[in-house]
Each structure stands twice: as structure tokens, then as C-alpha cells.
């Protein structure tokens, strides 16, 4: 019987297999950041252990860093970042600190350096490590004990996952993006629907996505409870990698290509579960609740908890609406926001910024709305500035920031005030995620930009047409 992509990558990394025990799996790339690593290094020191493969390890500062110029003012945040620096120095690990040309969110940095490649195993003490699955890598988040385990041994003791195919058939309509696809997937299978599975996204709609869009899809696999998400590598993948800093070169490139072309699910392979979605039915999607599965098409209304399936879902929806300050039946388009956030490891790459800029160009952020645009890495920031996107955002009244995790999580100065409502291109709408009492609606970059202009949840199709010709000249004069 044939094997799935996930099974092939797994089999290539088995170091030791004994009946009744988990497999010992080799890790090709270990990414570190300041939040989940200090206790792991402390554990190594206490046990007198060294880092086995510093040359397969890379660290960056992202969660705590402020996105406005200047040093970290919060002393506890500063200690955490300084601890990462001293740990990397002590154990000989490459680090891209704040201000460095390669600094950024760990899941943006790995791929742009060409370090994430098909068929690899990639781990990081961060659940959004699933992002790297877009390259056909088996990539997943781990806890701090596992970070210590990988530092010491370059392996992890793991049980095989189950496999689930998520097939998105047909063609996406214009204005429907990767973010809408993944939000619809999570709404369909639920936040626990992927539990125990590696998801493989397939079908024409997935194949037609760019690498950056594929990363958006795989990034949020964890929000469906899945351990990882993957997409089989193809010409799009190879073209993205060709010539990147750490991509194979010369004869190694040819050898790598030959290996990578084998990384596809065999025709006769059997998945443990399958979900099929028709791309033509997808429209811009937003969340209304306090977990990423509580979402709906933008054209719909806040749902009625009493119409939900079981008692658990009813109770969860009731408490979500209470927290979000929403009433069942309110059209989603009528929900007014205070803040719009474009950024994060989900939607902080150059294509995301281009998409948002395209919508906002020549328009203004609505009165009373704050819009933050935060590039995912220093490279993304430089690229965006070279293209003039920073000016487009600034002219519209948005704030152009320095790279970091920013408002995706309330760990740095970018937070929502209690009761404030955001449209956010990030990945989690949990209670308090963006700041205590903050209310989050997850959206795509296109919806974020349109929402900033109108002040209520909107898609670009809701915007008045751009003034053209003489009218435009008159208006700008």
C-alpha cells in the first residue's frame, strides 16, 4: 500500500524503533525564540549537557520586542531577551537579535533564509511551527521540555500521527484568500477536529497558491488542533527556494530536487480521514467568537447560540458572545472596530502587506480607527519600503512599525485596551489574547484593510469605487 507525504517524511527520520515505544525521530532544524527556551537551557546547565548540533539551530527575538524604535522598556521582557542572548553565546548558537538585518518572527525568518526545505523535520517551542509545512516539511510546535530534549539530542521521542486529507477542489473566487480557506476549514472541522492528525492540504485551489499563501494555511493547522499541516512540494516550492541563502547549490541542488520530487502522497495511499471543500463556495470569512473555529462568512450574521448543535457548543457560543459584546442576529458587516492589525506569522509576509496596501492605496483609515502594519521580519520591512508600501500605509493614516510578533499576543507594548475590538490578521481570538479584555475578529489582510477604511468589518467589494480621472485629481487637490 502506498504512503502519504507525512508518512514518507516520518519514515526518513526514524533513528530508533522498538515495539511498544514511541519512535525516536531526528530533527533537521530547531528554531528558538526568547519565550520558550530559557528553562530548556537552564535544564541543560543543571544536567551538565551540551547542545548536540548548534549548526542545526537558529534563534531570533520576536515575542517580546517592541515595534517602535528604542530599547525594551519592560524589565522582565528585557531579561528574557538578554537571557536568550547569553544562552546563544554560551552554547554557540546563531542568533538574530533586535535590529539585525535578519531578525523577525521565527516562522518568517526560517523560510526566507531558505532553511525550511521539503522533507525536513522542523521544530520550535511555538505552536505556529506548522507554518513550515507549506514546504512539505513535517513541522510542529513543542513544549520547553522537548526544546531541551532536542537541544541535547537533536531527536524527539514521538508517536506516529494519524493523517487527514483536506482537499480544496476547484478555483477560489477573486478576493478569497488563503486566510479565508483556513478559517473555513477550522470552522468546518472545529478546534479539536484535527487532534492527533497531520493535515495534508491538497486540490487545485491549494496547488494554485503561492508559497506565502500556503504558509498562511499551514500556519493555522494548530488552530484546528492538528499537530502539523503539510502541502506537497512542487515547482512553486522549488522556485521559491532556488537561490536562497541556505538552499542547496550546484550538485546538491540537483540531488535535493530528485529527493523532493518523491515527496508526494502515493495514489494508492489511504488517509485516516478526509475532508473535501468546494473552493467556489468560499467567500471572505471572519470569526465572531473566542476560538478560531467560531467563524462565519462575512456576509452572514452573528449566529444564535441556541441553534448550535450540542450543549457544549451552545454554552461555548453563549460565553463567547458575552465576552465579545455581541448579539445574535447582528450582521457581521455592522460590527465596528477600534483597531486593525496587519501582521504576525500568519499574515506578516510581503504578499500580505502588498494585498493590504493595494486596498488602502489612495484611501483613508476611518476616523477613530487605529491601524497597525507590522512586517514579519526586517527583510520584509526593507522589501516593503523599497516598494513604497510604507508610504502607502502612512498616507492612509496607518502606523508602519518594526518587525515582531506585535499585537498577535499581549506580550509586548502592542495590546488592546479592555473592551477594545480589533480586526486582526493574526491567528488567535482567545479571550485576552491581544490584551486583557480585548475582543478579536480574525480576518484576511484584504478584509483588514477594507475594515480599516469603513470602520466596520468589510471586504474590498464593500468599498466605494476609487475615484478616477478628473474627480480624483480634484479630490486630492
Partner 1 sequence: MEKFTTHTGIGVPLRRSNVDTDQIIPAVYLKRVSRTGFEDGLFAAWRKADDFVLNAEPFRHGSVLVAGPDFGTGSSREHAVWALMDYGFRVVISSRFADIFRGNSGKQGLLTAQVSQDDVELLWKHLENNPGAEVTVDLTAKTVTADHIVCAFEVDEYTRWRLLEGLDDIGLTLSHVEDVDAFEAGRPSHKPTTTLR
Which residues within the stretch 15-34 sit at the binding site for partner 1 (CB under 8 A)?
15-16, 20-22, 24, 26, 28-29
Strand partners, 229: 199
Query: Which residue, 47 or 386, has its beta carbon nearer to partner 1?
Result: 47
Which cell numbers hold the place of 200? 495534508
Burial of 368 per CB tally in 10 Å (0-12, 13-18, 19+):
exposed
Query: Which residue, 56 or 275, has its beta carbon nearer to partner 1?
Result: 56
- In 291-330, which positions are buried (b, 16+ CB within 10 angstroms) versus exposed (e)? bbbbbbbbeebbbebeebeeeeeeebbeebbebbebeeee
User: Within positions 128 to 147, which residues make up the interface with partner 1, using CB under 8 A?
Assistant: 141-146
Minimum distance of partner 1 from residue 419's CB (angstroms):
14
Query: Which residue, 248 or 445, has its beta carbon nearer to partner 1?
Result: 248
E strand segments, 298-357: 339-342
User: Within positions 322 to 361, which residues make up the interface with partner 1, using CB under 8 A?
Assistant: none
By residue count, the chain amounts to 477
Query: Which residue, 260 or 400, has its beta carbon nearer to partner 1?
Result: 260
Instruction: Considering only the stretches 163-171, 326-334, 353-361, 429-437, report the one whose residues sit in contact with partner 1 under the rule CB under 8 A.
Output: 429-437
CA 2 – CA 463 distance, rounded (Å):
49
Query: Which residue, 83 or 383, has its beta carbon nearer to partner 1?
Result: 83
Out of 101, 315, 336, 471, the only residue in the binding site for partner 1 (CB under 8 A) is: 315
- Within 8 A by CB and 6+ apart from 48, the residues are none
Binding mask 211-250 for partner 1 (x = CB under 8 A): -----------xx-x-x-----------------xxxx--
397: left (phi over 0), alpha (psi -120 to 50) or beta: left
Angle of helix 350-360 versus helix 211-219 axis, rounded to 10: 100
Sheet holding 29-32, edge to edge: 94-96, 57-60, 29-32, 121-124, 138-141
- If we measure between CA atoms, which residue out of 21, 30, 22, 26 comes closest to residue 9? 26
Query: Which residue, 185 or 279, has its beta carbon nearer to partner 1?
Result: 185
User: Within positions 72 to 131, which residues make up the interface with partner 1, using CB under 8 A?
Assistant: 74, 76-77, 79-80, 83, 94, 114-115, 117, 120, 125-127
Query: Which residue, 149 or 441, has its beta carbon nearer to partner 1?
Result: 149
Instruction: Considering only the stretches 170-178, 213-221, 409-417, 445-453, report the one whose residues sit in contact with partner 1 under the rule CB under 8 A.
Output: 409-417
Minimum distance of partner 1 from residue 460's CB (angstroms):
30
Query: Which residue, 298 or 409, has its beta carbon nearer to partner 1?
Result: 409
SS3 130: helix
Q: What angle do CA 273, 277, 281 make, to 5 degrees?
A: 165
Strands 94-96 and 29-32: unpaired
Out of 401, 421, 428, 454, the only residue in the binding site for partner 1 (CB under 8 A) is: 428
Strand partners, 177: none
- Whether 37 contacts 149, CB under 8 Å: no
Query: Which residue, 49 or 261, has its beta carbon nearer to partner 1?
Result: 49
- If we measure between CA atoms, which residue out of 162, 131, 123, 160 comes closest to residue 33? 123
Annotated binding site: 345, 405, 408
Out of 4, 36, 167, 344, the only residue in the binding site for partner 1 (CB under 8 A) is: 36
Which cell numbers hold the place of 468? 478616477
Annotated binding site for [4Fe-4S] cluster: 345, 405, 408
Alpha-carbon Rg for the chain, nearest whole angstrom, is 22
User: Within positions 171 to 210, which residues make up the interface with partner 1, using CB under 8 A?
Assistant: 191-192, 195-196
Out of 401, 433, 441, 454, the only residue in the binding site for partner 1 (CB under 8 A) is: 433
Minimum distance of partner 1 from residue 97's CB (angstroms):
15
Minimum distance of partner 1 from residue 46's CB (angstroms):
9
Out of 160, 432, 460, 467, the only residue in the binding site for partner 1 (CB under 8 A) is: 432
Minimum distance of partner 1 from residue 255's CB (angstroms):
5
Strand partners, 388: none
Which cell numbers hold the place of 463? 468599498
Which cell numbers hold the place of 257? 530536487
Q: With binding defined as CB under 8 A, does residue 39 bind partner 1?
A: yes
Amino acid at each position: 500500500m502506498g504512503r502519504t507525504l507525512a508518512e514518507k517524511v516520518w519514515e526518513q527520520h526514524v533513528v530508533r524503533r522498538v515495539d511498544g515505544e514511541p519512535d525516536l525521530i531526528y530533527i533537521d532544524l530547531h528554531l528558538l525564540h526568547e519565550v520558550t527556551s530559557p528553562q530548556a537551557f537552564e535544564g541543560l546547565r543543571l544536567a551538565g549537557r551540551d547542545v548536540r548540533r548548534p549548526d542545526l539551530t537558529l534563534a531570533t527575538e520576536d515575542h517580546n520586542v517592541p515595534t517602535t524604535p528604542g530599547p525594551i522598556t519592560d524589565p522582565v521582557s528585557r531579561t528574557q531577551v538578554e537571557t536568550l542572548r547569553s544562552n546563544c553565546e554560551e552554547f554557540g548558537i546563531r542568533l538574530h537579535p533586535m535590529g539585525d538585518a535578519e531578525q523577525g518572527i521565527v516562522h518568517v525568518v526560517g523560510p526566507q533564509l531558505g532553511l525550511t526545505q521539503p522533507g525536513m523535520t522542523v521544530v520550535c517551542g511555538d505552536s505556529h511551527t506548522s507554518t513550515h509545512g507549506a514546504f512539505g516539511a513535517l513541522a510542529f510546535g513543542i513544549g520547553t521540555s522537548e526544546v531541551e530534549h532536542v537541544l541535547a539530542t537533536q531527536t524527539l521521542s514521538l508517536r506516529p500521527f494519524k493523517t487527514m486529507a483536506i482537499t480544496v477542489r476547484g478555483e477560489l473566487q477573486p478576493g478569497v484568500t488563503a486566510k479565508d480557506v483556513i478559517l473555513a476549514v477550522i470552522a468546518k472541522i472545529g478546534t479539536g477536529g484535527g487532534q492527533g492528525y497531520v493535515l495534508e492540504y491538497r486540490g487545485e485551489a491549494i496547488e494554485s497558491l503561492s508559497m506565502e499563501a500556503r504558509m498562511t494555511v499551514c500556519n493555522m493547522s494548530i488552530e484546528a488542533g492538528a499537530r502539523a499541516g503539510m502541502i506537497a512540494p512542487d515547482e512553486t516550492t522549488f522556485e521559491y527556494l532556488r537561490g536562497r541563502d541556505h538552499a542547496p547549490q550546484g550538485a546538491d541542488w540537483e540531488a535535493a530536487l530528485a529527493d523532493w520530487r518523491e515527496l508526494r502522497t502515493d495514489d494508492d495511499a489511504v488517509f485516516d480521514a478526509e475532508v473535501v471543500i468546494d473552493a467556489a463556495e468560499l467567500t471572505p470569512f471572519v470569526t465572531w467568537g473566542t476560538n478560531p473555529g467560531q467563524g462565519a462568512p462575512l456576509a452572514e450574521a452573528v449566529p444564535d447560540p441556541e441553534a448550535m448543535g450540542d450543549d457544549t457548543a451552545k454554552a461555548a457560543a453563549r460565553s463567547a458572545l458575552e465576552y465579545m459584546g455581541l448579539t445574535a442576529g447582528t450582521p457581521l458587516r455592522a460590527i465596528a472596530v477600534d483597531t486593525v492589525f496587519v501582521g504576525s506569522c500568519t499574515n506578516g509576509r510581503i504578499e500580505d502587506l502588498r494585498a493590504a496596501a493595494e486596498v488602502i492605496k489612495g484611501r483613508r483609515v476611518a476616523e477613530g480607527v487605529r491601524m497597525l502594519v507590522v512586517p514579519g521580519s526586517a527583510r520584509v520591512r526593507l522589501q516593503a519600503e523599497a516598494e513604497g508600501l510604507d508610504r502607502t500605509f502612512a498616507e492612509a493614516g496607518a502606523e508602519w512599525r518594526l518587525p515582531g510578533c506585535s499585537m498577535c499576543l499581549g506580550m509586548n507594548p502592542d495590546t488592546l485596551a479592555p473592551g477594545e475590538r480589533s480586526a486582526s490578521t493574526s491567528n488567535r481570538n482567545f479571550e485576552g489574547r491581544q490584551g486583557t479584555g480585548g475582543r478579536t475578529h480574525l480576518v484576511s489582510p484584504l478584509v483588514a484593510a477594507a475594515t480599516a477604511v469603513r470602520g466596520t468589518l468589510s471586504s474590498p467589494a464593500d468599498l466605494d469605487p476609487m475615484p478616477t480621472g478628473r474627480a480624483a485629481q480634484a479630490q486630492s487637490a
